[in-house]
Amino acid sequence: MSKDIRIKKGLDIKLQGEAEKTLTNAVASNVYSLLPVDFHGITPKLIAKVGAKVKTGEPIFYNKEVDSMNFVSPISGEVIEVSRGEKRRITGIKIQAAKEQTYTEHGTFDLSSADAEKVKNHLLVSGCWPFIKQRPYDVIANPTKSPKAIFISGYASAPLTACYDFVLQGKEAELQAAVTALGKLTEGSVHVSVGAKSSNPLAGLNGIVLHKVSGPHPSGNVGTQIAKIDPINKGETIWTISPQDLVIIGELLLTGKFNAERIVAVGGSVVKNPKYYKTKIGAEVASMIYDAGVDSDNFRVISGNVLTGRAVKPDGFLGYYDNTVTLIPEGNDYELFGWNKPVFNKISNSRALTFSWLTPNKKYDLDTNTNGEHRAFVLTGKYEEVFPLDIYPMQLMKACMYGDLDEMEALGMYEVAPEDFALTEFVCVSKQPHQEIIRKGLDLMLKEIG
């Protein structure tokens, strides 16, 4: 049964520098990097040591807890650096790209005869498994569990993110193969959502339950869609995958090759020519941002969108799951009487001498300033205005802060991921780190309950 999702609570943050829908091939990156920070909760065990020559799709490390879960190289070349942090934990692996690209051959996969176990093993070995994430806990899916449903959100509502209608063009065959394979992993449905007015290739797939989504951000968040369609109860698991990762899985199934190709939207107010680039997972962001042009010398590069992405240095790397690179000005400057003068150039969901309510369609140039200092929770009822889930956000965060597992469970912790709290964090008058609070809460639960 298809069900359309319409939400009212939320906030569309309109920013300057939306990527123009033209595709450019990014300059080939010299070095690619795999960063374990992208794989939350995974302890990497290294396979390819420094100096090892790897093909594209060859395992670089595996998951300590699940031996069969490989993380593979997005490129052919030589491992040149393994950086380590505390307790010799691996924090990054750099691979120097070779001139000739070679692939690890997995052979075409016979979808019609495969069962769940076979699909699972194929994905684990080939390095495609990490694309599948699970709720609760928002971590890479546990292959020993069977999900009650699989959710794919084909509607990107966060500010300046890559538009799926554009980046998925012509990928119907890959998407179909991936969806068919994933359908074998669950007894429930594969729920796919697209924007109400979109021309998304996902809408034409077979073997899915299609949902049309409308309303402000976070309508495109998969967490919002799960809550509206099939909320997670205690003991249940739902898997989620982003559409561009489906393409990689699909290509692997069809051709036997792990092709880490990504179409990335490079945008933000300091980008001169915001547009789309074809590159690969783990590429240097410099290979794109300087081609697009940067109009500032004090800016922040974010791998991902402004709400949930990770800050990277200009010589840093594209995150494993990211299809967006955003550049916004750093806001590390003082503002005279910033706390009481009328504000026209920032977004607010109050009207306390803030005037963004007058210009709902204006595009803003927001910087990274917090616009105030960290305070205790004071105001109430603000978060609920931008939070469409049937959960009390402040109460849940407080439960996380004092680590009461029973209360976290009762208040709906199994249903949330940090990204669901990005908007409450944005509007928070007390400037509390909501996503960090939720992440820590989830980690605590995962450790104690599992």
Map the footprint of another protein across residues 339-358, applying CB under 8 A: 339-340, 343, 346-354, 356
How many whole angstroms separate alpha carbon 380 and alpha carbon 159? 25
Cβ-based neighbours of 178, under 8 Å, separated by 6 or more: 241, 246, 247, 249, 250, 253
Among 231, 255, 273, 278, binds another protein (CB under 8 A): 231
Reading the block at residue 271, the tokens are 């980008």
CA neighbor of 318 nearest in space, from 87, 54, 9, 31: 31
Among 234, 272, 313, 363, binds another protein (CB under 8 A): 234
Within 13 Å of residue 79, how many CA atoms lie on the same side as its CB?
Answer: 22
Q: Which stretch binds another protein (CB under 8 A): 111-119, 149-157, 174-182, 360-368?
A: 360-368
Residues 318, 264 contacting (CB under 8 angstroms): yes
Residue 268 CA to its chain's centroid (Å): 17
Looking at residues 303 to 342 of the shown chain, list those that interact with another protein (rule: CB under 8 A): 306-309, 311, 326, 328, 330-340
- x/- track of binding to another protein for residues 76-105 (CB under 8 A): ------------------------------
Cβ-based neighbours of 113, under 8 Å, separated by 6 or more: none
Q: How far is the CB of 163 from another protein (least distance, A)?
A: 20
Q: How far is the CB of 244 from another protein (least distance, A)?
A: 22
146 is an interface residue for another protein by CB under 8 A: no
SS3 375: coil
445 is an interface residue for another protein by CB under 8 A: no
Residue closer to another protein by CB (options 82, 156) is: 156
Residues 367, 268 contacting (CB under 8 angstroms): no
173 is an interface residue for another protein by CB under 8 A: no
Residues 157, 218 contacting (CB under 8 angstroms): yes
Residue closer to another protein by CB (options 217, 280) is: 217
Q: How far is the CB of 326 from another protein (least distance, A)?
A: 8
266 is an interface residue for another protein by CB under 8 A: no
Bond from prior residue into 388 cis (ω within 30 degrees of 0)? no
How many whole angstroms separate alpha carbon 366 and alpha carbon 426? 12
Looking at residues 377 to 436 of the shown chain, list those that interact with another protein (rule: CB under 8 A): 377-381, 384, 390-392, 394-395, 410-412, 418, 421-422, 425-431, 433-436
The strand pair at 53-54 and 44-46 is best described as unpaired
Residue closer to another protein by CB (options 145, 375) is: 375
Q: Which stretch binds another protein (CB under 8 A): 24-32, 44-52, 175-183, 365-373?
A: 365-373
Q: How far is the CB of 305 from another protein (least distance, A)?
A: 9
Instruction: Write phi, then psi, for 420 (nearest 5 degrees).
Output: -70, -20
Count of residues touching another protein (by CB under 8 A): 76
Q: How far is the CB of 162 from another protein (least distance, A)?
A: 17
Residue closer to another protein by CB (options 87, 352) is: 352
Q: Which stretch binds another protein (CB under 8 A): 90-98, 138-146, 179-187, 374-382?
A: 374-382
Residue 406, judged by CB atoms within 10 A of its CB (0-12, 13-18, 19+), counts as exposed
